Structures are given as C-alpha cells and as structure tokens.
C-alpha cells in the first residue's frame, strides 16, 4: 500500500520495531504515523518532525521504566530460586561459597595492604612535586650501595637561589634516637633537625603553634602529642622545656602524630641551627664540606626533573672540584611518592618496601581470586545435572535461552555479592592478624575510599560474570527434551575444560608452594650458616650514659661476678651490623698501593674470646702487650685477600696512625647475608657503645635483673636497654621472613580452595558414575581398581600442572635468591616436596568421596534399574 507521507524518518520506523513485538509495533507505529500526518497538514513538516521525535523519546523512556520494574520483579524471583537452591544443596553450596569467600578475603586483605603501601607519602599537598636529592658516586661502596643520600648543608639554599624551577627546598638531619629529659622522666625519641622551610615543602600538620614561627628560634622544639603525653600526661606541654645533650629546648608547638604511611618518621622537630654553637652557625649552615643532611625540594609544576638533575650535576661538579674532589658524582632526584617503594640506596633512614614484593603480592591475590573463580565455574557446571529438570521445565514454559542465561548470571552475581559481604566481615576480623604479619597498621578505613570501593565493585562484577558466564552458557543450552527424558548422564559435557581449569588451579598452587619452600629453605640456610661467631646467649646492653662509660671497667668487673655470666665484652658497634667504613691506602707485598674500602670495629680485649671468633694467623689482643691498645690491629681474611698478603702478621696499615697487624680473624658476617663479607679492621677502642654479656641459659630473668641492677649503680639518667643478639640477627631477615610466612599462608589457602573444588568435583563424579561403579563391582572390580578411577585422572592432571609450574617458579625463585650473597640452592627436594604434597592433599580430599562410592553396596545403586 502506498503511503500518504513517505517522508517519515527511518528511525521513527525502526524504534517502535525494536521496542515492541509485531502486533504492537503495527499499532503504535501506525498511530504515530497517522498523528504525524495530521500534524503535518496542520503545522508543517518542521513541527511535525520535532513532535515525532519527542513522542519516540517518550516511548523509549516509558519502555525502559516498565522493563526496570519488571526486571526487579524477575530479580526477586531469581533471588528466591537462588536461595532455594542454596538451601536444597547445602554442602554443595557451602563448598562453592567457601571457596569464593576465602578467595575474596585474601584478595581484599592483600588489596588493602597493597593500597596502603601505594599510599605512602601521599598526604603532602605537593606530593607530586617534591623530590629528594641523591647522588651516585661510582667507585664507593657503603653497605653495598654506591648511591648516597647525604648532602652538604649549603645545597638546599643553593637550590633555592640558583635554580629558578625550585620553589622551595629544605634540609634536615636525622639523628638516631635522642635522649630527651623532662622534669622527672627521660625518654629516647627519634626526630629531625629541620630548617625553616620544612613546612613549605611538607604538609605535616600542627595541632598548635604556627608553621611560620615554630622553626625560627634555635632554642625551641616541636613534639608530637604521643611524646607530649609520655612526658606531661594530660597537661598542656606548650611552654615547658625538654633537655638533651645539645641544651634545653622550649616546646613551642605540637605536631599531629606523623601518619604511619610517611617515610619520614619523627617525634620531635628542632630547628636546624640548634645543632651548632652560635658562633659557628653562619659557616656550618652554609657548608659544602660535611655531607650529613637530607635535601628535599619542590619543583614548580611543569618543570622537568631531568633538566634539574643535569643542571645540579654540573653545578655540584664545579663545587666539588673547588674542594679538591675529583671523582665525579651524578646527582639525581627521587620523586617523593616513589621513595617508599623504589629507593634502596645508602643512607636510607627508614626501611623501605620493595615494589617487586608489592607486585608479587598483588599477583598472588589475583591468582587466589582466579582459583576461587575456577572453582566456582567447575562446581557450577558440574552441578548443572542437578538443575537440569528446572532448566527443562523453564524452557518448556517458554523461557528463552537468554532468560536462562540472565538467570544464571544473576545467580552467580548474587552469590558473589553474598560472598563479598562475608569476605568483608572476615577481612575486618582478620585484619589485626594480617597486620601482625605484614608489620603494618593497615586499617580497613582504606576500604571506604571511593577508588578502592570502585575497584572492589568492579572486581565483584567481574568475578560474578567470569564465574557465571560459562556455567550460564552451558546450562542455558540444555535441551528440554533430553533433560526431561532423564538423560542426565551426558548432559553436561566440558569435562576437558574442567580438567584444564583444575590444571591451572594446581599450577598456581604448586608455584606458590614451591616459592614458599624455597624461602623457607633460604631462611633455614641463614639460621644454620656459620656466621663466624657464636651469637647465642648474648645479651647486649646499650652504653650511652656518660657516667656508665666512665666506669666501664668496674661495670664489667661487677657484671662478671655473677656465676651465670660467662664473659663480658664491649664494642663500638653490634657485630651483626658494623657501620663505620672508610677508604685506606695499603701496600701489597710487591709494594703496590691498593685502596681498600674497609669497615672498622672497635673492641676490648675480651671481645674475640667472648664471641668465640677464630684466629687464623697471629694472636688476639692481649693485656700482656701494653702497646696493643695504641698500635695493634687485627684484620679479617677478606682484608688479607684484598691486599694480597701472604704473610699478614707484622704488616703495617694506616689505621688512624700506622698500626701493626698482629693477627687475622676468620671471616665472620658483620652484615646480613645479603652482602658479601667485606674487609674489616679491628682495634682496641675505649669508646664503646655496646656491652655484650655471654650468659648461661638457666635463670635468665635473674641474670637480666642482675645486669640491670649493676648498670643502675652507675647510671645518671639513661634508661637501661638491652636486647638479645640473636633477635637482632633475626631482625635483619624480617622482610624475607614476612614474605615467607605470607606466601606460605596464601599457598595454604590456595591449596584449600583448590581442594574444595576437587572435593566438589569428586562428589559430582561419584554421583554421576554411581551406576557405572555398581556395575563394575557386580562384574568383579576390586575396591582399589575403582578408587583408581577417581585417582588416575586427577593425578595425571596434577603431574602436568607440576611440569607447567616448575620452570616458572624455578625462574622466579632463583632470581629472588640472587638477592643474597650467601644462598642455598633450589634442591631437588623442593621439586619433590611441592609435587608430593599437592598430590597427597588432593588425593586425600578425593578419598572422602571416592572411598564411600567404592565401598557402597552395588545393590543400592542398581536396585531400580
């Protein structure tokens, strides 16, 4: 039929056709066209067209609204069906959800942790513009680094003056803990000596006092409420004075407690100038020689830090040449946000994390979530045969494939929402435990950050979709005829896919177990390595008090009087970490001059005996030789190797003045096992900071009390502080230990989830093959051969998983081991144990079901046939 107005827009035809089924489309499109024609005659084409578009738009909205309403009604139905299904198949649903909940909990915890690590130093307003100055000084090595942080005090002012792109620059000095004394109490506290620009660069907040003035007056101090409470309780601390070795300081401001996720931590701030006497301030505050200060600067937005680095290097090389320093130093800027995760150079004043570890954790988190998803997919498809009837009926009653698909997707999303809520509550409960693990005080508040919430929502939807997609596709494809004819056996195929999923699950699990085994092995290696001295049963006491220092000899004498104390020695640093180092020019036997970068340890006469170190050549320091204290030195084997001596005893080296080598001590580890043993010189020193006592294990508390009592006899105000050397030693490997424990835990959880999946599959297989098993038994199959049915397939896939996982895990773990200068090898047993444990656990899990199935009386399963 010809149209009255053929110029009706194409879309006006198409939209109703999309919106309505055929009958309704005819009616509505027709109505629109008729009304359009009327309006066209009356008001012309323009108005008619505008009108038509409005009508179409309104139609669309109307339909959308109705559909949402109906969508919700259907959703309610889905919810009901889901809950019924969960109720009907309790154990199955439990297994299914448990896996998801455990996976999500792990994921959430790790996510919060990773997020926390990434949030370091983000609290500063100009966080993205702040840079820390560092430099590379090739040829030097301190603690294994040739890059350093400490810069001269004149650098920050020079940056402000000579570099137009630098808007602010500040410098500060970090001292170790400083003993602060109030009227009655004394405490150790760590802090910074900072210059006036400190608050221009950093946005640390003040509770009271003005940022402009608090760092002006040299005799003032700002402290955190935490410290204030220790000294003054609830009294107002402003105006009170605190004393330390540098003088007395008036409290002029209170800081907010420094956030834990700041790489700069301090309890007090003292103006920089207080470090020096008034008459030397001018020179010391703008000094290029001593490098003791940390310099931070703010670059103006839009400036290129690379450019500044180049200019700075050129600038500094001019200055260093003027000071007679020939070796080139390459200056570079570290952006503030990257420091916590990426900076590992000499002079770092906080223990930084490693971005690699953070990435690793994140990958582990994703893996665990994947395992949980795989579980869900596996179990849901396996479970399909149980729901086959429901699907059949729905189809017969007119559900299309799309409807069913939608239903199953909704179901999996509903289950993942429920799991998410459970997981959230578990994470909440487990967070304290997790914090103890990670050594951080992550709070779940981070979860309420909208970034993270969005992320979690995305993950949730992704999990639901991912986990529900395949089951939904499979389930919705079932043919009602087959289903209702009870051809349950071969309904759900995809056995291959299930196997591959199990394969990937176990590959991941094996990788995790493999890695944690290697870490455990390395930790054991560290524990059992002969570090060159006996670190057990040594109590170390800090000797800071001037009065105690003066009376060290009689203190030692008095401590030795106790029958529980075997020996006492003093030293300048703890033997687990010898810090002082310098270069020294030594002559080799051919008269060649060799520059040795060596570490120095000052000890007393008893030290080597108390620590049970071994002398390789020569003799120990002895009181019989009166000149030992002034002119003798002991070196270690590495030193001898470095200078190539055949006859070390009797050689002279320029340590302080010329000293004679009287002995060579066997190499011992005076740093962590990450580092190679370096050349070391040991001499008698009266300036001791640590006192070590070797004690007997019996009566430990009494012995400690005795030492404290003796110490207190001499001290003026410095509190008694001690630690066990062994603990100190273990602390050096805390990062690794943490990593190991975390990986171990997560691999445990991974295997748990994977086994839940295997368990669920075993239930399914047992049910599906119940008749087959019955017939086999009737025909004379033995129980072991039926168990074999269950085991063979699984074992095969786990073995393949091993073969897939080993190379990857081996590669990563040998890389990790390279962090240690002294390391174990990845032995055969790591391979064997990782494989065997997984196979054993998996088979054990399957056994619950399979033994039941194999021993069942065939009559029961075959009776109705």
Partner 1 sequence: MPKFMTRNEEIILLTILKLKGNAYGVSVRRQIYQDMRDKWSFASIYQPLDNLVRKNYIRRIKGDPTARRGGKSKFYYEVTPEGRQAFLKLKKAHEQIWSGFSKKSLEKGK
> Which lies closer to partner 1 via its Cβ, residue 23 or residue 279?
23
Binding partner 1 (rule: CB under 8 A), the pick from 9, 14, 27, 709 is 27
306 φ, ψ to 5°?
Answer: -60, -45
Mapped onto helix, strand or coil, the DSSP state of residue 449 is coil
177 is an interface residue for partner 1 by CB under 8 A: no
Burial classification of residue 799, based on how many CB atoms lie within 10 Å of its CB (0-12 exposed, 13-18 middle, 19 or more buried): middle
30 is an interface residue for partner 1 by CB under 8 A: yes
Nearest approach, Cβ of residue 7 and partner 1 (Å): 11
Number of neighbouring beta carbons within 10 Å of residue 27: 12
> Which lies closer to partner 1 via its Cβ, residue 14 or residue 527?
14
35 is an interface residue for partner 1 by CB under 8 A: yes
> Which lies closer to partner 1 via its Cβ, residue 63 or residue 285?
63
> Which lies closer to partner 1 via its Cβ, residue 28 or residue 311?
28
603 is an interface residue for partner 1 by CB under 8 A: no
Place of tokens 């529900």: 468
User: What is the spatial distance between Cα 270 and Cα 194, in angstroms, rounded to a whole number?
Assistant: 6
Nearest approach, Cβ of residue 752 and partner 1 (Å): 52
Binding partner 1 (rule: CB under 8 A), the pick from 7, 9, 14, 38 is 38
Nearest approach, Cβ of residue 27 and partner 1 (Å): 4
Stretch that binds partner 1, among 59-67, 190-198, 430-438, 811-819 (CB under 8 A): 59-67
Nearest approach, Cβ of residue 18 and partner 1 (Å): 15
Containing H/E element for 836? helix 828-855
304 is an interface residue for partner 1 by CB under 8 A: no
> Which lies closer to partner 1 via its Cβ, residue 37 or residue 424?
37
Pick from 372, 389, 380: nearest CA to 408: 380
7 is an interface residue for partner 1 by CB under 8 A: no
17 is an interface residue for partner 1 by CB under 8 A: no
Contacts of 526 (CB under 8 A, 6+ apart): 673, 733, 822
> Which lies closer to partner 1 via its Cβ, residue 38 or residue 248?
38
Containing H/E element for 664? strand 657-665
Nearest approach, Cβ of residue 6 and partner 1 (Å): 8
68 is an interface residue for partner 1 by CB under 8 A: no
φ/ψ region of 39 (left if φ > 0, alpha if ψ in -120 to 50, else beta) reads alpha
> Which lies closer to partner 1 via its Cβ, residue 64 or residue 290?
64
Burial classification of residue 857, based on how many CB atoms lie within 10 Å of its CB (0-12 exposed, 13-18 middle, 19 or more buried): exposed
62 is an interface residue for partner 1 by CB under 8 A: yes
Number of neighbouring beta carbons within 10 Å of residue 734: 11
Pick from 123, 48, 320, 293: nearest CA to 193: 293
Binding partner 1 (rule: CB under 8 A), the pick from 37, 355, 360, 675 is 37
Nearest approach, Cβ of residue 394 and partner 1 (Å): 22
> Which lies closer to partner 1 via its Cβ, residue 52 or residue 508?
52
> Which lies closer to partner 1 via its Cβ, residue 59 or residue 465?
59
2 is an interface residue for partner 1 by CB under 8 A: yes
Nearest approach, Cβ of residue 403 and partner 1 (Å): 20
Nearest approach, Cβ of residue 45 and partner 1 (Å): 16
Pick from 407, 438, 444, 409: nearest CA to 423: 444
125 is an interface residue for partner 1 by CB under 8 A: no
Stretch that binds partner 1, among 26-34, 67-75, 663-671, 734-742 (CB under 8 A): 26-34
Stretch that binds partner 1, among 28-36, 231-239, 282-290, 330-338 (CB under 8 A): 28-36
Residue 374 vs residues 427, 463, 502: alpha-carbon distances, Å = 22, 10, 8
Number of neighbouring beta carbons within 10 Å of residue 440: 17
DSSP line for 344-412: --BT-SS----HHHHHHHHHHHHHHHHHHHHHHHHHHHHHHHHHHHHHHHHHHTT--HHHHHHHHHHHH
**How many positions of this chain bind partner 1 (CB under 8 A)?**
25
User: What is the spatial distance between Cα 60 and Cα 26, in angstroms, rounded to a whole number?
Assistant: 16
Stretch that binds partner 1, among 1-9, 83-91, 139-147, 844-852 (CB under 8 A): 1-9
- Give the CA radius of gyration of the chain: 37
Mapped onto helix, strand or coil, the DSSP state of residue 535 is coil
44 is an interface residue for partner 1 by CB under 8 A: no
Binding partner 1 (rule: CB under 8 A), the pick from 47, 54, 260, 282 is 54
> Which lies closer to partner 1 via its Cβ, residue 3 or residue 623?
3
User: What is the spatial distance between Cα 782 and Cα 469, in angstroms, rounded to a whole number?
Assistant: 40
Burial classification of residue 380, based on how many CB atoms lie within 10 Å of its CB (0-12 exposed, 13-18 middle, 19 or more buried): buried
> Which lies closer to partner 1 via its Cβ, residue 24 or residue 213?
24
**Per-residue x/- track, 744-763, partner 1 (CB under 8 A):** --------------------
Stretch that binds partner 1, among 56-64, 159-167, 527-535, 653-661 (CB under 8 A): 56-64
User: What is the spatial distance between Cα 152 and Cα 332, in angstroms, rounded to a whole number?
Assistant: 15
User: What is the spatial distance between Cα 280 and Cα 287, in angstroms, rounded to a whole number?
Assistant: 11
Cβ atoms of residues 541 and 720 within 8 Å: yes
318 is an interface residue for partner 1 by CB under 8 A: no
94 is an interface residue for partner 1 by CB under 8 A: no
585: DSSP letter: E
> Which lies closer to partner 1 via its Cβ, residue 54 or residue 829?
54
Nearest approach, Cβ of residue 69 and partner 1 (Å): 11
Pick from 348, 346, 471: nearest CA to 413: 471
Nearest approach, Cβ of residue 408 and partner 1 (Å): 28
439 is an interface residue for partner 1 by CB under 8 A: no
> Which lies closer to partner 1 via its Cβ, residue 66 or residue 622?
66
Nearest approach, Cβ of residue 32 and partner 1 (Å): 6
DSSP line for 749-800: HHHHHHHHHHHHHHHHHHHHTHHHHHHHHHTT--HHHHHHHHHHHHHHHHHH
Mapped onto helix, strand or coil, the DSSP state of residue 657 is strand
Binding partner 1 (rule: CB under 8 A), the pick from 7, 11, 14, 26 is 26
Mapped onto helix, strand or coil, the DSSP state of residue 178 is strand
DSSP line for 677-726: PPPEEEEE-S---EEEEEE-STTHHHHHHHHHHHHHHH-SSPPP-EEEHH
Stretch that binds partner 1, among 52-60, 557-565, 613-621, 817-825 (CB under 8 A): 52-60
Nearest approach, Cβ of residue 3 and partner 1 (Å): 5
Cβ atoms of residues 222 and 252 within 8 Å: yes
8 is an interface residue for partner 1 by CB under 8 A: yes
> Which lies closer to partner 1 via its Cβ, residue 13 or residue 146?
13
70 is an interface residue for partner 1 by CB under 8 A: no
15 is an interface residue for partner 1 by CB under 8 A: no
> Which lies closer to partner 1 via its Cβ, residue 65 or residue 359?
65
> Which lies closer to partner 1 via its Cβ, residue 37 or residue 500?
37
40 is an interface residue for partner 1 by CB under 8 A: no
| β-strands 690-695, 330-335 pairing | unpaired
Pick from 552, 389, 409, 541: nearest CA to 470: 409
Nearest approach, Cβ of residue 34 and partner 1 (Å): 5
58 is an interface residue for partner 1 by CB under 8 A: yes
Nearest approach, Cβ of residue 15 and partner 1 (Å): 12
- Can you give the binding site for partner 1, defined by CB under 8 A? 1-4, 8, 23, 26-35, 37-38, 54-55, 58-59, 61-62, 66
């Amino acid at each position: 039929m010809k149209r009255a107005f053929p110029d009706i827009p194409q879309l006006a035809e198409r939209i109703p056709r999309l919106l309505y089924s055929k009958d309704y489309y005819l009616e509505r499109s027709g109505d629109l066209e008729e009304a359009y024609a009327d309006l066209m005659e009356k008001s012309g084409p323009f108005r008619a067209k505008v009108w038509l578009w409005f009508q179409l738009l309104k139609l669309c909205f109307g339909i959308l609204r109705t559909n949402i309403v109906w969508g919700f009604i259907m959703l309610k139905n889905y919810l009901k069906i889901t809950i019924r299904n969960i109720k009907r198949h309790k154990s199955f649903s439990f297994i299914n959800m448990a896996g998801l909940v455990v996976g999500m909990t792990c994921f959430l915890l790790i996510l919060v942790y990773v997020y926390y690590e990434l949030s370091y130093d983000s609290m500063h307003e100009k966080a993205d513009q702040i840079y820390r100055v560092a430099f590379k000084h090739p040829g030097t090595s301190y603690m294994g680094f040739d890059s350093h942080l400490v810069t001269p005090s004149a650098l920050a002012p020079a940056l402000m003056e000579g570099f137009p792109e630098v808007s602010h620059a500040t410098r500060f000095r970090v001292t170790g803990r400083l003993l602060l004394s109030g009227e009655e109490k004394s405490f150790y506290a760590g802090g910074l000596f900072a210059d006036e620009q400190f608050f221009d660069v950093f946005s640390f907040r003040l509770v009271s006092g003005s940022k402009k003035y608090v760092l002006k007056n040299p005799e003032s101090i700002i402290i955190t409420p935490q410290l204030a409470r220790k000294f003054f309780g609830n009294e107002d601390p402003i105006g009170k004075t605190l004393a330390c070795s540098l003088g007395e300081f008036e409290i002029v401001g209170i800081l907010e407690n420094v956030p834990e996720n700041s790489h700069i931590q301090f309890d007090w701030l003292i103006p920089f100038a207080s470090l020096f006497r008034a008459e030397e301030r001018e020179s010391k505050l703008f000094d290029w020689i001593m490098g003791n200060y940390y310099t931070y600067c703010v670059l103006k937005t839009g400036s290129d830090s690379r450019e500044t680095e180049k200019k700075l290097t050129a600038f500094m090389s001019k200055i260093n040449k003027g000071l007679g320093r020939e070796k080139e130093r390459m200056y570079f800027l570290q952006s503030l946000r990257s420091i916590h995760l990426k900076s590992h150079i000499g002079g770092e004043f906080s223990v930084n994390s490693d971005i690699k570890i953070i990435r690793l954790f994140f990958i582990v988190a994703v893996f665990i979530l994947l395992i949980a998803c795989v579980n869900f997919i596996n179990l849901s498809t396996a479970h399909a045969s149980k729901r086959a009837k429901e699907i059949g009926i729905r189809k017969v009653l007119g559900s299309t494939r799309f409807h069913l698909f939608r239903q199953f997707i909704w179901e999996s999303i509903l289950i993942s929402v429920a799991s998410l809520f459970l997981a959230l509550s578990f994470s909440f409960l487990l967070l304290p435990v997790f914090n103890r693990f990670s050594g951080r005080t992550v709070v779940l508040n981070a979860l309420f950050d909208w970034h993270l919430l969005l992320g979690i929502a995305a993950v949730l939807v992704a999990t639901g979709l991912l986990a529900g997609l395949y089951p939904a596709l499979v389930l919705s494809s079932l043919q009602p005829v087959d289903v209702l004819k009870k051809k349950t056996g071969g309904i759900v195929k995809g056995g291959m896919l299930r196997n591959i999923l199990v394969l990937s699950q176990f590959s991941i699990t094996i990788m995790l177990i493999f890695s944690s085994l290697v870490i455990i092995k390395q930790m054991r290696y560290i524990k059992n390595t002969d570090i060159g001295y006996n670190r057990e049963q040594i109590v170390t006491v800090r000797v800071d008090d001037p009065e105690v220092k003066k009376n060290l000899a009689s203190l030692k004498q008095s401590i030795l009087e106790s029958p529980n104390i075997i020996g006492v020695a003093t030293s300048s640093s703890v033997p687990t970490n010898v810090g002082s180092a310098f270069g020294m020019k030594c002559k080799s036997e051919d008269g060649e001059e060799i520059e040795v970068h060596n570490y120095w340890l000052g000890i007393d006469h008893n030290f080597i005996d108390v620590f049970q170190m071994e002398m390789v050549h020569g003799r120990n320091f002895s009181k019989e030789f009166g000149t030992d204290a002034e002119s003798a030195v002991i070196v270690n084997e590495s030193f001898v190797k470095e200078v190539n001596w055949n006859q070390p005893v009797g050689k002279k080296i320029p340590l302080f003045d010329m000293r004679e080598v009287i002995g060579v001590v066997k190499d011992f580890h005076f740093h962590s096992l990450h580092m190679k043993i370096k050349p070391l010189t040991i001499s008698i020193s009266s300036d001791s900071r640590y006192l070590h006592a070797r004690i007997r294990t019996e009566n430990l508390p009494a012995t400690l009390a005795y030492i404290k009592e003796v110490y207190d006899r001499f001290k003026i105000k410095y509190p008694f502080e001690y630690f066990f050397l062994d603990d100190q030693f273990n602390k050096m490997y805390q990062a690794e230990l943490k990593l190991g424990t975390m990986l171990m835990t997560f691999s445990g959880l991974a295997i748990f989830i994977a086994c839940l999946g295997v368990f669920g599959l075993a239930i399914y297989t047992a049910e599906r093959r119940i008749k087959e098993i019955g017939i086999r038994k009737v025909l004379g199959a033995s129980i072991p051969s039926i168990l074999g049915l269950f085991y063979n397939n699984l074992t095969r896939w786990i073995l393949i998983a091993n073969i897939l996982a080993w190379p990857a895990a081996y590669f990563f773990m040998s890389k990790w081991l390279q962090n240690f200068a002294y390391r174990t090898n990845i032995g055969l047993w790591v391979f064997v144990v990782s494989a065997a444990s997984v196979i054993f656990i998996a088979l054990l899990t399957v056994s619950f079901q399979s033994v039941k199935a194999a021993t069942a009386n065939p009559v029961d399963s075959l009776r109705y046939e």
